[in-house]
Amino acid sequence: MEAPSQEAAPLCKCGECDQIFIDLNPQTDCEEYPCDGLIELELLGKGENSFYGCPTCKTDSFLQDSKL
């Protein structure tokens, strides 16, 4: 058996703080990239108004798809 390869996930980047995150709410045809050591987007807001956003900036306004 080979060792399992690195985890892969769609990534996004916050244009405000320039940090890369694991995108928990990706578009369906996103490419996946190794995500070792990256943190996930934070679920912000409450109930129906909740959304995944940058845990530092507390918004999803600056998120964009990222390619490493």
Query: Footprint of Zn ion on this chain (CB under 5 A)?
Result: 14, 16-17, 54, 56-57
Cβ of residue 21: shortest distance to Zn ion, in angstroms?
A: 9
10 or 53: CB nearest Zn ion: 53
- Let me know: does 22 contact 10? Beta carbons within 8 Å: yes
8 or 39: CB nearest Zn ion: 39
Q: Measured between alpha carbons, how far is 62 from 14 in angstroms, rounded to an integer?
A: 5
Cβ of residue 1: shortest distance to Zn ion, in angstroms?
A: 39
Q: What share of the chain is helix, strand, coil (3-state, %, to 5)?
A: 5, 35, 60
Cβ of residue 38: shortest distance to Zn ion, in angstroms?
A: 13
8 or 17: CB nearest Zn ion: 17
